[in-house]
Structure 1
């Protein structure tokens, strides 16, 4: 039982960093801060793995602190791609907010599991982290005479690996590559999932799909949306035809259109133009539809 145990400072710190990451990513006033990148890297490269390591290895004897840190890095590097792969098969897709939400929920839940497993152990056997014990462990590892030279060399290699990883991250943060500029453009079915698209129509009747646009161009862009059936434009309301989005702003609305010609396997195109090129679509997608006369 927990009794009068000290709170698990390491797990509380992990949970706090997850919440701070969410705040710095989701709050517009903070999303441009340098700390957003720092917290984001921690969430992707360390926090999920640390929580999972704590849950799998709750006892002190299971693993030393330095080895735990290295294992946390390795597990996190595995968890983040798997989370993205799973999101790819959902209606949310591999987007910033869904992946952030998934990693945050996973890390906080596993922190809870880790705490539960620790309190099942006697207090002197459960793994815990304090500044004093961490310094003492490092001194004992490198300065005391016990232990073989191979053990000390391995410990030194682990510390160097962690420092190199941290240094590499710092270099990447301090020397970012040029930001990739792009626009997301997609269509969804009426239920906002990537399936059940309306493909069978009666001439004169309308159909609806959900059109989504997200601006990652690092500037405000004025878009023009056009729908063409067999290269013939279909009318759209002005507020859906002309769309202006700021950087990182999204637009996702049901768009209703009415096929004007009859035919089978006709190409229904959704074309997105930007402000600099009005003749060639900047982004495009399409459906194949059938339109029959009403009997």
Structure 2
């Protein structure tokens, strides 16, 4: 849209003044969040593409833009009062050029992502996609508006703009038309290092992170104050009498999951885990969305008596087999309990 058109003038002045490259940063940030939040887009290749660009380039780009709002001017002309000739002098405080800006943006982004992930590792949220992108997104938007404000404070002819054609020409000259062989080898090494870093992060983003996908499976007991704690579990039962327990699941598999929980009382052979006799007490089914939580109270009413019986909780993805065993389960929990006969 031409800058002097009537429709263009209808746009608020701060929006019209906002630099084009920083506008692209805001749009790409919003699209990245959309691909993470909208179910239709969360499993599409667009999420990986935008995620890679966001993680590898955008946070570093806007931070460099905030630190270096001016464009590079290598020399200025001055005219002496007593001399009609122009004198070429270097411009004080010369800024970085386009190639340096791109390389610094990638390197800075990798550092920002690494430090942010390290800090999140010590929080309750951990290193997961949503907390990481929320932190990076907040930092990116703050740095974006800081960069825009710093550019507006400069004269129009000194503000940085994205010189796409100049960048392409400079990159070609630096990479393929260098004066010395050592300089050419150094540039080739730099490009290969950047490509290796890009490939490593791209692989980490596109491949499923098995270490970051897990399910919490836990038992709780109500203490004397009525608080649920993972302690003080009942270990002494009487045949036919009930005691209350709580079993819970937290889904961190990054996708919806169906679970089955099987509760069994088992008599195991001495010094082995071979089950000699088993009684199934409960079978629960739970369907959880990503990051969903399920918990239920249930009674343990044993009909089997003996010392050192195993109260066994088995978690299965989907349906449980007709004969559930520990080696087929996804997760397991157990307590060693004693069950005395009634009347003793």
Question: Which TM class, normalised by the smaller chain length?
Answer: 0.5 to 0.7
| Structure 2 counterpart of 1:198, from 224, 229, 243 | 229
Unpaired segments ≥5 residues, structure 1: 191-195, 262-266, 288-295
Normalising by the residue count of structure 1, what TM-score does the alignment of the two structures yield? 0.65
| Structure 1 counterpart of 2:41, from 30, 33, 53 | 30
Change (3 A) 1:170 1:243: closer
User: Aligned ranges for residues 1-295 of structure 1 at < 5 Å?
Assistant: 6-60=17-71, 61-131=94-164, 134=167, 153=184, 157=188, 160-161=191-192, 164=195, 168=199, 184-186=214-216, 198-199=229-230, 211-215=249-253, 222-225=258-261, 241-244=284-287, 249-256=290-297, 271-274=314-317, 275=319, 278-280=324-326, 281-284=329-332
Unpaired segments ≥5 residues, structure 2: 1-12, 72-93, 221-226, 235-241, 268-277, 303-309, 336-344
- The answer on whether the counterparts of 1:189 and 1:209 sit within 8 Å (CA) in structure 2 is yes
In structure 1, the residue matched to 2:4 is none
1:81-126 deviation per Cα after TM superposition (whole angstroms, max 9, x unaligned)? 2222222222222222222222222211221222222223333333
Change (3 A) 1:45 1:100: same
Moved more, 104-113 or 180-189: 180-189
- The answer on whether the counterparts of 2:257 and 2:290 sit within 8 Å (CA) in structure 1 is no
Tell me the CA shift for residue 20 of structure 1.
Answer: 0.9
Tell me the CA shift for residue 25 of structure 1.
Answer: 2.1
**Whose strand fraction is larger, Structure 1's or Structure 2's?**
2
Superposition RMSD on alpha carbons, in Å? 4.9
- The answer on whether the counterparts of 1:181 and 1:216 sit within 8 Å (CA) in structure 2 is no
Change (3 A) 1:27 1:120: same
- The answer on whether the counterparts of 1:48 and 1:107 sit within 8 Å (CA) in structure 2 is yes
Tell me the CA shift for residue 135 of structure 1.
Answer: 5.2
| Matched residue SS, 2:125 | coil
- Name the CA distance, whole Å, in 1 between partners of 2:22 and 2:64: 11
Normalising by the residue count of structure 2, what TM-score does the alignment of the two structures yield? 0.57
- Name the CA distance, whole Å, in 2 between partners of 1:168 and 1:127: 29
1:254-292 deviation per Cα after TM superposition (whole angstroms, max 9, x unaligned)? 44467889xxxxx998652234663123124689xxxxx
Larger Rg: 2
Tell me the CA shift for residue 47 of structure 1.
Answer: 0.9
Change (3 A) 1:256 1:103: farther
